[in-house]
Structure 1
Amino acid sequence: MSIKIDNVAIAVRDLEATIAFFTDLGLTVLGRDTVHGEWADTAVGLDGNHVKIALLQTPDGHGRLELFEYIHPQAIETQPTLPHEIGMHRVAFAVDDIDDALDIAARHGCHPLRGVATYRDQYRLTYVRGPSGIIVMFAQELKPS
């Protein structure tokens, strides 16, 4: 059997704002749709499932995010996860310039949870609280000098 990750899906409060955040970081929108019907209820396991979705892709063509905003049933607000909580943790992006990524995130009101750290002189890393409370990690590989 062959297996690969196709995408990571994230429920969001505001689809347009979340698309703007990720497209400013360099992802592209592959498509948009409104999904509902018996097939969607069956696949998701939720009666009356009705969502607006957008599929985004990273510039390298390998990573995809499916963002969705519920029309019905009404979305349930939860507290954003903390880095040590069990469950969906974060979406991580390798970036060539972490400062540029942070500038883009800041324009969307998204800032590091604490700061930027250096791991073993190999990476600069940070976690940002993105739209809808999504934890987004930026990692810049440091080139040996």
Structure 2
Amino acid sequence: MAIKLENVGIAVRDLEATIAFFTDLGLTVLGRDTVSGEWTDTAVGLDGNHAKIAMLQTPDGQGRLELFEYIHPEAIETEPTLPNEIGMHRVAFSVDDIDAALEIAARHGCHPLRGVANYQDVYKLTYVRGPSGILVMLAEELGKR
């Protein structure tokens, strides 16, 4: 059986703010829609499912994020995920310039959880808390500049 990762889906509090964050980092919007009806109830497993969605893609065309803001049922606020919690953890991106990426993130009020680390002189990396509390890892491969 062949298998391919299609996308990572993330429910967000504010679709527009989240799109702005990720497009500023370099992703592009492939499409937007509002979805509802029996097919979404069946696929997602929520009765009355109604959401605004956007599909974003990385510049290399390999990575996609599907963002959705629930209209119905009402979104449930939860505590932001901690790095050591079981379950969906984070979304990670390679960047050419981590300092430039962090400047972009800061314009959206998103900052490193602690700082920028150097992993064995191979990567500089950090986790930032993105829109809706999403953990976003940014990593710059050293020697690629």
What SS does the corresponding residue of 1:41 show, helix, strand or coil? helix
Q: Which amino acid aligns with 2:143?
A: K
Q: Show the 5 A alignment for 1:70-81.
A: 70-81=70-81
Per the TM alignment, residue 143 of structure 1 is displaced from its structure 2 partner at its CA by 1.0
Q: Which amino acid aligns with 1:56?
A: L
Q: Which amino acid aligns with 2:113?
A: L
Q: Show the 5 A alignment for 1:1-145.
A: 1-143=1-143
Q: Which amino acid aligns with 1:35?
A: V
Q: Which amino acid aligns with 2:129?
A: R
Q: Which amino acid aligns with 1:37?
A: G
Calculate the aligned-residue CA RMSD, in Å: 0.7
What SS does the corresponding residue of 2:21 show, helix, strand or coil? helix
TM-score between the two structures when normalised by the length of structure 1: 0.98
Q: Which amino acid aligns with 1:99?
A: D
CA distance in 2, matches of 1:99, 1:4: 32
Q: Which consecutive unaligned segments of at least 5 residues does structure 1 have?
A: none
TM-score between the two structures when normalised by the length of structure 2: 0.98
Q: Which amino acid aligns with 1:43?
A: A
Q: Which amino acid aligns with 2:94?
A: A
What SS does the corresponding residue of 2:2 show, helix, strand or coil? coil
Q: Which consecutive unaligned segments of at least 5 residues does structure 2 have?
A: none
Report the identity percentage. Answer: 83
Cα deviations by residue, 1:30-86 (Å, 9 ceiling, x for unpaired): 000000000100000110000000000000000000000000000000000000000
What SS does the corresponding residue of 1:18 show, helix, strand or coil? helix
What SS does the corresponding residue of 2:132 show, helix, strand or coil? helix
Which 4+ residue blocks in structure 1 deviate beyond 2 angstroms?
A: none
Cα deviations by residue, 1:12-43 (Å, 9 ceiling, x for unpaired): 00000000000000000000000000010000
CA distance in 2, matches of 1:78, 1:27: 26
Number of equivalences: 144
